[in-house]
Amino acid sequence: MEGSTPTTRVDVAIVGAGPIGLCFANALSRRGVSALLIDRQARASLEAPESDGREIALTRASQQTLDALDVWPRIPADERAAMRAAKVFNGESLFAMQIAPRAGQDAELGCLVPNRAIRAAAYAALVDSPQAEVLWRCESEIETFAPSADDSGVEIRLAGGEIVEAALLVAADSRFSSTRRAMGIPAHTYQHGQHMLVCRMHHEQAHDFSAWEWFGHGQTLALLPVDTHCSSVVLTLPPAQMDALMALPQADFEAEITRRFEGRLGAMTRAAEARRYPLVSVYAERFVGPRQALLGDAAVGMHPVTAHGFNLGLEGVRRLAGLVGDARAAGQDIGAPRLLARYQRQQRLATGPLFAATLAIVGLYTDERPPARLLRKAVLRAGDAAWPVRRLIAGHLMRSAS
C-alpha cells in the first residue's frame, strides 16, 4: 500500500475491544505477543461502559480464565451473584425440573455477573498489566486490508489513513461482524423472529438464588438472581408484542411483568431500564483465513437461552492465545496456516454441538403445536441425567478449565 504515513508494526491486530477482544489482548501480552485494538467506541466508553442489561452466567472454566487474566479479582464482590440451582418450568405447571450441583460438589451451579462489570474489569486488567504491549485505536475502524507483498503479514489501512502491519488479523467485532464479511467468510444466520427483553426487577418475595427458565405458551421467561429481592427478568416475545410492552407506562409495565410471572414472587417493580435485543444466532462457515481468525461472537453468536456465548468466546481466547504464545516461544510464525487450522478444528469441535443443540432446544420450546407441548412435558418429567437442557445448562456451567 502506498502513502507517506509511517507504518505501525504489531504482532496481532484485533478489531473489537468488547469483552473478548480485551481478554484476548491481555492473554497475548502474557505470552510476549503485542496487540493493537481497534474499536468504534471512544476510550472513555471502554473504560466505564454503560449497562446493557445483560447478566452473564459464567462457567467455572470462565472464572478460572478471568482469574488468570487478573479480570476476576477486579469484579466487585457485590456484582457477583451466586446461582445455586436452576429450575425449568413448562406452561402453567408448578412442576419444575431442578438442576443443582451433585452432592460432594461445590454449593454453586455458576455465577452471574453484569456484562458491564466484566467489560470494565477486562479493560482495567489490560491497562494495568505491567507486561501489556497494547496499542489502542478507538473511534476507529478498518478501511481495507490485504496480504503483504512477501506474505509475511497483513497490511491494514485504518479510516484516517494509518497503515498497520500485523502477522495476524483477528475479528472480534460482534455477531454482526463487518470484518468477517470483508474477509469473505459467510455465516449461517438464524433470525428467530423474536425479541428478548432484559430488565432488573425488585420482587416482594425472596428467592432462593436459583435461576428460572420458564417455557410458557407464546413466551419464554427467565429469572436470574441478582440479590435476595432483585432479579434480572428475561422475556422473549414476537416483535409486535414487545413493542406494545415497551410502550407501557412504568406502573402498567410492572403489573404486566408480575402477571406474566403469575405473581410467583409477589409484585415486581422495575429496578433499571429495560433493554431489548433482536434474537439472531450466527455460526461462521470458517473461523480462519489467510492470516485471519474469528473470535467470540464474530465466530459463534449463540442464542442466549443456554448462556454459552461469552463462555465459548473465552474458550476461544484460551485456545488461540495458547497456540500463538507457543509459536512465539518456539520462534515460529504466529499466523501460520497450520496453527490457524488447529485453532479452527478445536474451536468448531467445542462450539458446533452446543450451537446445534441450543437451536434444537429453542425450536422445541417455542413450538406451540400440541405434539411439541406434549414432548416438552414428557421431557421435563423424565428428569434423566442425559436430558438435553440439564446437560446443556448444568454440565457446561460446572465444567472446569482443562
Contact positions toward ligand FAD, by CB under 6 A?
Answer: 15-21, 38-41, 54, 56-57, 115, 141, 172-174, 178, 196, 198, 277, 296-297, 304, 307-311, 313
Question: Smallest distance, Å, CB 275 to ligand FAD?
Answer: 8
Cβ atoms 211, 182 nearer than 8 A: no
CB-wise, 32 or 353, nearer to ligand FAD? 353
Question: Smallest distance, Å, CB 9 to ligand FAD?
Answer: 20
178 CB-near residues (< 8 Å, 6+ apart):
none
Give the Cα separation of 334 and 324 in Å (integer).
5
User: 234: closest CA among 221, 250, 218, 253?
Assistant: 221
Question: Smallest distance, Å, CB 37 to ligand FAD?
Answer: 9
Residue in the block written with cell 410492552:
245
User: 227: closest CA among 209, 213, 204?
Assistant: 209
CB-wise, 18 or 335, nearer to ligand FAD? 18
CB-wise, 225 or 304, nearer to ligand FAD? 304
Give the Cα separation of 12 and 366 in Å (integer).
42
117 CB-near residues (< 8 Å, 6+ apart):
75, 76, 79
Beta strands in 148-186 (DSSP E): 154-158, 163-171
Question: Smallest distance, Å, CB 13 to ligand FAD?
Answer: 11
- DSSP per-residue codes, 13-60: EEE--SHHHHHHHHHHHTTT--EEEEESS-HHHHHSPPP-S-EEEE-H
Question: Smallest distance, Å, CB 377 to ligand FAD?
Answer: 26
15 CB-near residues (< 8 Å, 6+ apart):
21, 38, 39, 141, 142, 169, 170, 171, 172, 173, 177, 179
Question: Smallest distance, Å, CB 369 to ligand FAD?
Answer: 27
CB-wise, 39 or 213, nearer to ligand FAD? 39
CB-wise, 39 or 254, nearer to ligand FAD? 39
Beta strands in 273-395 (DSSP E): 275-284, 288-289, 292-294, 300-301
CB-wise, 286 or 308, nearer to ligand FAD? 308
CB-wise, 152 or 179, nearer to ligand FAD? 179
Residue in the block written with cell 472480534:
172
Four-CA torsion 12, 17, 20, 24, nearest 10 degrees = 30
Question: Smallest distance, Å, CB 92 to ligand FAD?
Answer: 25
CB-wise, 74 or 137, nearer to ligand FAD? 137
CB-wise, 29 or 179, nearer to ligand FAD? 179
Question: Smallest distance, Å, CB 52 to ligand FAD?
Answer: 8
Q: Show the CA angle centred on residue 15, arms to residues 14 and 18, nearest 5°.
A: 95
| Cell numbers that stand for 281 in this block | 444466532
CB-wise, 157 or 331, nearer to ligand FAD? 157
Question: Smallest distance, Å, CB 323 to ligand FAD?
Answer: 18
| Cell numbers that stand for 49 in this block | 461502559
Question: Smallest distance, Å, CB 373 to ligand FAD?
Answer: 26
By beta carbon distance, the residue nearest ligand FAD is 18
Beta strands in 60-162 (DSSP E): 81-83, 85-90, 96-99, 110-114, 134-138, 142-147, 154-158
